[in-house]
Amino acid sequence: MLKIGIVGISGRMGHALYDCIVGMDSVKLVCGIDRNVSALPAGCRCEVAADINSLNNLPDVFIDFTRPDCTLSVLPEAAERGIAYVLGTTGFDDSGKEGIKNCAEKIPLVMASNFSVGVNLLLALVKQTAAVMQDADVEIVEAHHRYKVDAPSGTALSLGQAAAAGRGVNLSDVMVAGRSGITGERKYGTIGFSSIRGGDIVGEHSVMFCADGEIVELKHHASSRATFARGALRAAQWLEGKAPGLYDMPAVLGLPR
């Protein structure tokens, strides 16, 4: 039975992961890492500590949907102990991304901006559509709950990267995030981003390909965090026995590149 540890077990995704694990026979929750023990999932009886060094029961794999500062305090310690990692945290700067790559030289690590099976299918469709509709304007709109701290979302950026890859360009060269004031006409070939924050929106992403006379829109709507939790647990099980390295969800799902 695969032993799981949840980083940020008192958070929204921590609760969703806990609820999914309770109903599974093939995995067991053995620990959590969190400083806020007052908001643990109802019925949670596993060991919970403020840091990895205080844990007595270490898992085979950690699942982490927290914030960059938290991840970068736990991940290196996990790597030193040979504990595999499933990482859904977004918003890392270049230094943080480099640190993650270094850790992946020691352990198998699945990193994704979104663990939903549907979103990963959407990424493949966006790349294909961008390659076919070369002259269309691409606009990406994403919506999340009021507590999300980064924008555009990691998933939106991944969708932009998929569109850019379909056209053979670098996203950083064509990205336009948000518009305000007198912006002038749209520059040909750019990929636009808009972010909405409000309420308890779990996650909505739409990619519009706007051509003269027609629009193709590809959209994903998440109504429950359970979809992300199930995908993360699928990734955790897939990691068992894998060699050290940085993996993604297309690898887990066997999707074409």
Using DSSP, state whether 28 is helix, strand or coil.
Answer: strand
User: What would the two tokens of residue 35 be?
Assistant: 């400083």
The catalytic position among 127, 144, 205, 220 is 144
User: What would the two tokens of residue 232 be?
Assistant: 């993360």
The catalytic position among 28, 106, 148, 242 is 148
Using DSSP, state whether 87 is helix, strand or coil.
Answer: strand
Is there a contact between 156 and 140 (Cβ–Cβ < 8 Å)? yes
**220 flagged as catalytic:** no
- In whole angstroms, give the CA distance from residue 33 to residue 64: 10
Cα radius of gyration (the chain): 19
The residue count for the chain? 257
C-alpha distances in Å from residue 211, one per residue of 31, 187, 243 = 51, 14, 45
Q: 35-44, long-range: CB within 8 Å, 24+ apart, which pairs?
A: 36/10, 37/10, 38/10, 39/10, 40/9, 40/10, 41/9, 41/10, 41/14, 41/15, 44/9, 44/18
Is there a contact between 124 and 251 (Cβ–Cβ < 8 Å)? no
Q: 140-165 b/e with 16+ CB inside 10 Å = b?
A: bbbbbeeebebbbbbbbbbbbbbbbb
**3 flagged as catalytic:** no
Catalytic positions, written as ranges:
144, 148
